[in-house]
Amino acid sequence: MSEEPPSQVPGTPHIETSIYTKEQKDKKLIAGLLGILLGWTGAHKFFLGYTKEGVIQLIVSLVTCGVFGIVGLIEGIIYLTKSDDEFVATYLVGRKGWL
């Protein structure tokens, strides 16, 4: 019989700790929706400050008649499935440009 240690002492409130601001975390939802809805334009890239990647996405999408827009859709889904802290660490602090 193994006993698991309690994750929290009963009667104490759970305190959310994060080193990131609410404004940074709010960008996840906006960037994710932009990626899903307007991914072919690179709007999510421009919103996150990735100008070079946004221009590349827009040009390649125009040349391929929007086929490259699937990348924006996938990125939008990835953004929304990451935790707030993971999103901020990867895309805002770590500046990961693609997927």
Number of domains comprising the chain:
1
pLDDT digits (tens, 9 = 90+) for 72-90: 999 999 999 999 889 988 9
Q: Where does the pLDDT of residue 26 fall: very low under 50, low under 70, confident under 90, or very high at 90 and above?
A: confident
Tokens of 39: 């991914």
- Give residue 79's domain range: 22-93
pLDDT in tens, 47-74: 999 999 999 999 999 999 988 889 999 9
The Cβ of residue 89 has, within 10 Å, a number of other Cβ atoms equal to 16
Which 3-state string (H, E, C) describes 19-55? CCCHHHHHHHHHHHHHHHHHHHHCHHHHHHCCHHHHH
Instruction: Judge contact between 77 and 32, C-beta under 8 A.
Output: yes
Q: Is residue 60 in some structural domain?
A: yes
CA distance 42 to 45: 5
Share of the chain above pLDDT 90, in %: 54
Q: What is the pLDDT of residue 29?
A: 93
The tokens describing 67, both together, are 């086929």
In a domain, 34, yes or no: yes
User: Which pTM value belongs to this model?
Assistant: 0.75
Tell me if 5 is assigned to some domain.
no
